[in-house]
Amino acid sequence: MKLANQVAIITGAGRNIGAAIAKKLGSEGAAIAVIDLDKTRGDKVAADIIASGGKAKAYVCDVSKEQDIIDTVKGVTADLGRIDILVNNAAISDNKHILDITKEQWDLTIAVTLTAPMLFGKYVAKEMIAAGHGGKMINTSSTSGFYGRPRSIAYTSAKAAIVNLTRSMAMQLATHNIRVNCVVPNKIGPPVGKEEFNPNRNVLNLRQREGVPDDIAKAVLFLVSDDSDFIDGTHLMVDGGCSTLMPGGDFKG
């Protein structure tokens, strides 16, 4: 068990990548705080972890609200005794062109996808520092944060900022023995905000297969385990090599 006796907070853990991460870390001995806005989804993931012999508790949290984040972090600490791991996975997408997006849509997307990881990082770090045992944090970016897109102006901006948020968090928390890293998926499972995966969606990468949530979960497990103790402040592309392909290139697979 790589994470025995540790406690992990996973945001957006009710579905897709977040659920896979929660179950993977739970299978390695961590007690999981399953954070999601949808109570039914969160309860289901927590129940699945418990049924598999793990320990988990679901928490409803609107990550766009600072007080909800504060209350959730306090609740997890009180219920599970400590926090060793934070995985900032929750996100929403605007799917809007710059000429169409409203300020309200921009603000909400940024609040959930960028501000929430910073706030969770802040309040979890305070708990880790007070406990004196250090910790590990993972932020979830996206290949959409590295390239322009014909839609999703706020989401792409937020996911780009996540990478440098990770670097700054890592620098500022290093003296407290808190490592901060980032994973960068590409088209894993259903798109953000969608329920179903479109099997006809164009997925081009060097592995010549669709990525699955467990691909990200395995990468996160590596980054929060002692196996990655000398890795800090970086982003790991978990995209099947998609980001190595030059747009307009002649790779045919």
What secondary structure, in 3-state letters, does 127-160 show? HHHHHCCCEEEEEECCHHHCCCCCCCHHHHHHHH
CA dist 143 and 156 (Å) reads 9
> What structural domains and CATH numbers belong to the chain?
7-244 (3.40.50.720)
CA dist 203 and 211 (Å) reads 9
Say what the pLDDT of residue 245 is: 86
| Torsion on CA atoms 193, 217, 88, 28, rounded to nearest 10 | 140
* Angle, helices 16-27/213-224, rounded to nearest 10 degrees: 50
Summarised one tens digit per residue, pLDDT across range 109-119 is 999 999 999 99
> What is the CA 177 to chain-centroid distance, rounded?
20
The pTM of this model reads 0.94
Summarised one tens digit per residue, pLDDT across range 118-147 is 999 999 999 999 999 999 999 999 999 999
| Torsion on CA atoms 149, 187, 101, 88, rounded to nearest 10 | -120
Asked if 123 is an active-site residue, the reply is no
> What is the CA 120 to chain-centroid distance, rounded?
11
Say what the pLDDT of residue 250 is: 54
Summarised one tens digit per residue, pLDDT across range 184-219 is 999 897 665 555 556 666 778 999 899 999 999 999
Q: Which of 59, 123, 147, 155 is catalytic?
A: 155
* Angle, helices 116-131/66-80, rounded to nearest 10 degrees: 30
- Starting at the edge strand found earlier in the chain, the sheet holding 235-238 runs 55-60, 31-36, 7-11, 85-88, 135-140, 178-185, 235-238
Single-letter residue type at 122: K
Say what the pLDDT of residue 19 is: 98
| Torsion on CA atoms 24, 25, 31, 33, rounded to nearest 10 | -80
